[in-house]
Amino acid sequence: MSAIADAYLAERTALPARLHAAVLRVTQRRKVVVGVGITSLLLTFVGMLTTGGSGTIGTIMYVPWVALLAAELGPAAGVLVGIAATGLYFAAAESVGLPHDPVTLVLRLAPLVGVGVAAGLSSRRISSDALELQKTSAAQQALLDSTLDGICLTDASGRILLANAPLQRISVELGIPPHGTVIERLLSLADRTTEPARFRDRMRELAENPAASEDEFELTESGRVFQGCTAPVQRRDGTLVGRIWSLREVTSDRRLERLRDAFVAAVSHELRTPLTSVSGFLELLGDEEDNLKLSGRTYLTAARRGTTRLQRIVEDLLLVAEIEAERLELRTEPVDLRELAAAAVEITRAAADEKHIALTLDVEGSLPLEADGARLGQVLENLLSNAIKYTPAGGAIVLSASGGDAHRRIEVADNGIGVPHEELGQLFSRFYRASNATRRAIPGTGLGLVIARAIVEGHGGTISLDSREGEGTTVTVTLPLCQPDGGTYL
């Protein structure tokens, strides 16, 4: 996506040739460096002979070349070069009559040998660190390139500093421009998405707000769907230094979800007709119930219960299909929350009594609001049914409602099995059921909370769940007193 990043894949294909060339260059460089060092030592020696030396600073003239050779050949060679340089100095000193007594020898030899050892050790350490850094960098790049997601790192202004191979491949496939900031390049896709206006607005929000984000977009011509995520890179003091961007193709996942939704909707519609017929025949049998034997009446009751449960599942599946298609219709009117709560309690009381669960309604006075009474009642019934299912025999459930100046608050609290903390974030997902519920083989479809959330949010309200495994669950619903114009709420 940047000029450097765009050339990344091409560079990788030529990696073996580049490594071979680099080795040759290093070999040639060493020969050049050694040749320059030796030549310079000899030229310095010749210069001392020609000029008559430089007095007490004569050995300083050898220091650069000793350091150069030692850095290239190592500390052992540095010792030998230092001794050789000292020998050259004293040969020149002998010729021009400079002092060359043992004390002078030591004073000249020690610094030159020391420079050789220090330069050699420093060079070896630097080379080792550079090699280790190179290995680490190569491992990190290989790790990034092996991921399925396209990943890049940008600076605070949005310019790409690093991009992995998958992102390069996706960029080429989508025809993303190779210049500009990430936002500028992604905006080039806006007109090709199914929601151009929303895509542009989201890109502007990302440009202004560096907070972590997650979005999806679909391309019109190909139907490919991508999920993008961002996360800020900050110093310990909170200063923004860059941003991580990732891009993953989720086309297959979304197609499977659509197929599943279409299948569920089709099966639900197909089940509705025979279930209606079965229910009708059961009602006809009910007229003859007094003429049935005890076993016959027992079978009839079981058939009614099973049919009712199947009808409810089918209705839930169809409602979820409407929600997914954003066709949830709410017909708002003035209602009394207290009456809706009382009706929900009465409907579910039989199930609570069967498990010897104490079901209590805690509402004081009338609580008027504007809402779809049938849908809101469905929410209350779903929450109470869930509480009854997941509360052991002898437990207790309390449905409470209260009001404020601008909202109504509903709470359904139980002392049931609760939900594991790590699973709380998934409870509002379709068909998801807590692990402790499946272990106990508690029946359910995992749609109750999905439907409840859709209806509550359609009213402009919020729903939240707090639970502790083994202690119980509390579901809280907050609704505004007034609604905008009635109709379809998305």
Residue 400: per-residue pLDDT:
93
Residue 39: per-residue pLDDT:
81
pLDDT in tens, 61-102: 777 777 777 777 777 777 777 777 777 777 766 666 655 566
Residue 29: per-residue pLDDT:
67
d(CA 475, CA 366): 21
pLDDT in tens, 327-383: 778 888 999 999 999 999 999 998 899 999 999 999 888 899 999 999 999 999 999
Extents of the domains making up the chain: 8-145, 150-249, 254-324, 329-488
Residue 320: per-residue pLDDT:
77
d(CA 428, CA 464): 10
pLDDT less than 50: residues of the chain:
1-17, 20, 23-24, 26-27, 56, 486-490
Q: Which CATH superfamily is domain 150-249 in?
A: PAS domain (3.30.450.20)
Residue 1: per-residue pLDDT:
40
pTM: 0.52
CATH number belonging to domain 329-488: 3.30.565.10
